[in-house]
Amino acid sequence: MATPKVLLCFVLQLIFLLFVLHHPANAQGLKVGFYENTCPRVEHIVKEITDQTFSVAPTLASPLMRMHFHDCFVRGCEGSVLLNSPTNQSEKFAIPNLSLRGFQIIDKIKTALEKKCPGVVSCADILAIVARDAVVALQGPSWEVETGRRDGHVSNITEALFNLIPPFANITALKSSFASRGLSVKDLAVLSGGHTIGNSHCNAFTNRLYNFTGKGDTDPTLDSEYIAKLKKKCAPTDITTLVEMDPGSFKTFDVHYFTLVSKRRGLFQSDAALLDDSETRAYVLSHTTDAGRASFFKDFGVSMVNMGRIGVLTGSAGEIRKVCTKVN
Ligand code: HEM
């Protein structure tokens, strides 16, 4: 018969195992609740500032969400998009990043966190938490954000230019860009749904309206009525006007993006390209009504977690920046 001492030991081991399984660290060393002991109020502090920000400036939610994506696709999610450079040679000065906004909000959050838990929370983790809060603020899904990322030392304008996917990417380029970062074809379809919120500058798609193949033609894959509407908003050389990517509901995170794409009204060639692969096409077509909302919301959280794992620095790699715009 087991003695009470042995039994107690067994029960304690079981409790420990259950605890570990509940908050598993993934292969890269990230986990939900990484700051549980070192900065337990981190998510609360971030949310206070994002709530306050989005209540006065709701249009900052979409670019802040996009910032996490642009961080992760260049050198991994390690905060390189935030770094300044005296000669304007860091990632944020690359053309695709010039339309990012909200850097000052990340700085504000970092300042607040440094007061409460100095030297603990990375800028890369702040981006991941803010991305989730931005989606929630626009009535989208919530998910548990894995943390434990550390910040990188390098940020290079050319790397950003080559690694961020251009709006004219075709399905082959999109799939290969995602695959090279460990993301699936499903992640591609799901994360493209991020275009349910926010705006685009005209120049990201005017080639589809005025000069698709260099002969003054239009993109045959774009709905012709939609082309006429877009032409009214964007002159051929317009680089300043903003257009809603999901007209009518660009301030709400919903499934409507997939309806648009299915109707050949996705704004970018990269959106339209989702119809060119059987798997992404099937995902689009099965999410064209509100009935697909719950499944898209669940998938989006999963894919954002997957994206947040790209190329992370953990353990003793990298550093925890004191200020997000510069290395220590
Ligand atoms: C799949 C390849 C993708 C391409 C080619 C692409 C391209 C673009 C472009 C060209 C813009 C317009 C920028 C502007 O002119 O201001 C944009 C906006 C945006 N993208 Fe993407 N994107 C992609 C994937 C993603 C992903 C994965 C996310 C997030 C999960 C995302 C989130 C956003 C958001 C929220 C905006 C609106 C930003 C704002 O309102 O300022 N995109 N994207």
Q: How many domains does the chain divide into?
A: 2
Query: Is ligand 1 within 6 A of the CB of residue 197?
Result: yes
Could you tell me if residue 12 is inside a domain? no
Q: Are 177 and 304 in the same domain?
A: yes
Could you tell me if residue 324 is inside a domain? no
Question: CATH no. for residue 285?
Answer: 1.10.420.10
Domain end, chosen from 140, 163, 186, is at 163
Could you tell me if residue 278 is inside a domain? yes
- Taking only the tens place, the pLDDT of each residue in 75-125 is 999 999 999 999 999 999 999 999 999 999 999 999 999 999 999 999 999
Q: Are 159 and 226 in the same domain?
A: no
Between 326 and 26, the higher pLDDT residue: 326
pLDDT at 22 over 80: no
Atom 25 in ligand 1: which residue has the minimum CA distance? 192
Ligand 1 centre to CA of 193 (Å) is 10
Atom 33 in ligand 1: which residue has the minimum CA distance? 66
Q: Are 304 and 175 in the same domain?
A: yes
- Taking only the tens place, the pLDDT of each residue in 305-319 is 999 999 999 999 999
Q: Are 176 and 204 in the same domain?
A: yes
Q: Are 214 and 88 in the same domain?
A: no
Q: Are 82 and 181 in the same domain?
A: no
Q: 23, 44, 70, 201: which one is catalytic?
A: 70
Q: Are 178 and 299 in the same domain?
A: yes
Q: What is the pLDDT of residue 27?
A: 54
Annotated active-site residue 70? The verdict is yes
Average pLDDT of every residue of the chain: 93
Mean pLDDT to the nearest integer, 139-148? 98
pTM beyond cutoff 0.95: no
Q: What is the pLDDT of residue 267?
A: 98
Q: What is the pLDDT of residue 19?
A: 44
Query: Is ligand 1 within 6 A of the CB of residue 203?
Result: no
- Taking only the tens place, the pLDDT of each residue in 231-272 is 999 999 999 999 999 998 989 999 999 999 999 999 999 999
pLDDT at 69 over 90: yes
Q: Are 129 and 154 in the same domain?
A: yes
Tokens for 162?
Answer: 């080559």
Query: Is ligand 1 within 6 A of the CB of residue 99?
Result: yes
Q: Are 115 and 207 in the same domain?
A: no
262 lies in which domain range? 171-308
b or e along 17-47 (b: 16 or more beta carbons within 10 Å of the residue's beta carbon)? eeeeeeeeebebbbbbbbbeeebeebbebbb
Query: Is ligand 1 within 6 A of the CB of residue 163?
Result: no
